[in-house]
Amino acid sequence: MEKLIDRGAGLVCIHYAVEVPKGEPEKLFLKWLGGCFEPDWSVNPHWTAHFNHLPQHEITRGVKPFEALDEWYFHMRFQPQMKGVTPILSDVPPASTMARRDGPHSGNPFVRRAVAAHEPQHVAWAYDRPDGGRSFGFTGGHFHWNWGREPYRRLVANAILWTAKAEVPEQGTGAPPLEIAVLEENQDEKQANGFDAAAIRSEFSLGGK
């Protein structure tokens, strides 16, 4: 990976891929990705984030404000002074995210103070690396059905293009609707009793049958 990064390769890390152990791995990820999940500092609760205000950036082209229930990691460790880091998705987590006991992933005094102070938390970010390369971190991605959300999917697709230094269209990537059947092809979990494909299709504007 270091050889690829040194050659200027783009890097995209989604969900659990943003977590690394403390020490040398974290130092490398801060250098490569601009931010990462640090145990005993960051947390991984399930909560509904509301992204009502998106920054102007190539990654947000054509992306409308949206909300999504996901395992949004937050209180991430970033480059000092956020140098080179541009927050892309941010929200203030609700107090309910602090309902669990302290633990490497569940809570700590630092994050509790931040949530009590209503500090916005960045759950997706772009990183312009000093070497000229680009990276993107996205802490969502736990719930498979969220890929059916057009803004969610378009934002990540835009980010992949951006990190590769490809042109992101002014209206964003096409991000065509995903059929339920396509989403099911890559769903490892069995359908729960009462699974309602029509309701999911309606909520995510999937279209199709």
Is 102 within 8 Å of 47 (Cβ atoms)? no
The domain 2-176 is placed in CATH, from the list 2.40.128.20, 3.40.50.880, 1.20.1250.20, 2.60.40.10, at: 3.40.50.880
In this prediction the pTM is 0.92
Is 49 within 8 Å of 89 (Cβ atoms)? yes
- End-to-end, the C-alpha distance of the chain in Å comes to 42
Q: Would you write out the chain's pLDDT as a tens digit for each of its 209 residues? A: 999 999 999 999 999 999 999 999 999 999 999 999 999 999 999 999 999 999 999 999 999 999 999 999 999 999 999 999 999 999 999 999 999 999 999 999 999 999 999 999 999 999 999 999 999 999 999 988 899 899 999 999 999 999 999 999 999 998 787 878 888 887 777 877 888 888 877 777 644 33
CA distance 26 to 101: 24
Run of H or E including 80: none
